[in-house]
Structure 1
């Protein structure tokens, strides 16, 4: 198990990006959370196997139909052993 902390930049608030992230992470079997940040970005913590996290990050570059992500800052972090994926 591995974990990745992500900050998604671009048009990602007010376009159902968090709800889409929860649904996609559930579909892929990842654990973690997603939340809006005051600066207009979206923050996410993804936990699971490295290949599945890579698939999720690739999908996050597209997001839901009205989103327009411009970049995702990522860093490896220590897994917290989370269960399920939540919207904060």
Structure 2
């Protein structure tokens, strides 16, 4: 059964290929959703997948790409939106 979670990632996560890396990992795991930068310097992610896959995805979000420095990750469950793919949203 698919779940939808909202993930907020804080730290040095902009300008370090965080969004592109997130998309690559999401595609690899089969996670659907979106990722975008927030004005406050954090990264916002909506992710949909099986619970076990979301766990692995959130684990990756805590690490991020090589140059990122993640200080906090929060997750919350939300309503399923049935995304078709994983997209980097550019403002």
| TM-score, scaled relative to structure 1 | 0.98
Matched residue, 1:56: 57
In 2, distance between residues paired with 1:69 and 1:52?
20
| Structure 1 residues 63-78: aligned runs within 5 Å | 63-78=64-79
Aligned to 2:4: 3
3-state SS of the aligned residue for 1:61? Answer: helix
Q: Could you list the runs of 4 or more consecutive aligned residues of structure 1 that deviate by over 3 angstroms after TM superposition?
A: none
Structure 2 unmatched ranges of 5 or more: none
TM-score by length of 2: 0.95
* Per-residue deviation, 1:73: 1.1
Number of aligned residue pairs: give it. Answer: 88
The Cα shift of 1:52 comes to 0.2
